Amino acid sequence: MGPAEVLPVAGEPLAIDLALADAPGLVQLECLRLPAGATVADALRASALLRALPAARLDALVLARWGKPVAADALLHPHDRLELLRGLLVDPKEARRLRYRRDGVRKPARRPPR
């Protein structure tokens, strides 16, 4: 469940946010209203954002709920945030090493005296 830990009320529709990050610096957000008991797969089927994507691009995306991987058959909870993320192109540790080689050690910014 998301950070709010809200339990569903029987019969009340779920408000779900679906975030699509399929290009660097571009995040598209869609708000969905789904019936109680809906799954992640139901949310994907209901999304207008995903219908516009070619199947090949959709297959390359990773599905997550609040940043953690989630299965398509998982039940949704009120105010969940589903995320479709592109895979990493480079390991974050390797990227840090490359920046260090390129830029060297950065000195912390000096704070003015109080």
Domain membership of residue 56 (yes or no) is yes
Domain membership of residue 25 (yes or no) is yes
pLDDT per position as a tens digit, 90-106: 888 998 898 888 888 77
Q: What is the pTM of this model?
A: 0.66
SS (H, E, C) 33-56: EECCCCEHHHHHHHCHHHHCCCHH
Domain membership of residue 45 (yes or no) is yes
Domain membership of residue 32 (yes or no) is yes
Question: Which residues, in sequence order, are CB contacts of 33 under 8 Å at separation 6+?
Answer: 13, 14, 15, 16
Sequence length of the chain is 114
Domain membership of residue 31 (yes or no) is yes
Number of domains in the chain: 1
Domain membership of residue 86 (yes or no) is yes
Domain membership of residue 40 (yes or no) is yes
**What range does the domain containing 65 cover?**
14-103
Whole-number Å distance between alpha carbons of 50 and 52:
5
CATH code of the domain covering residue 57: 3.10.20.30
pLDDT per position as a tens digit, 60-75: 788 899 989 999 899 9
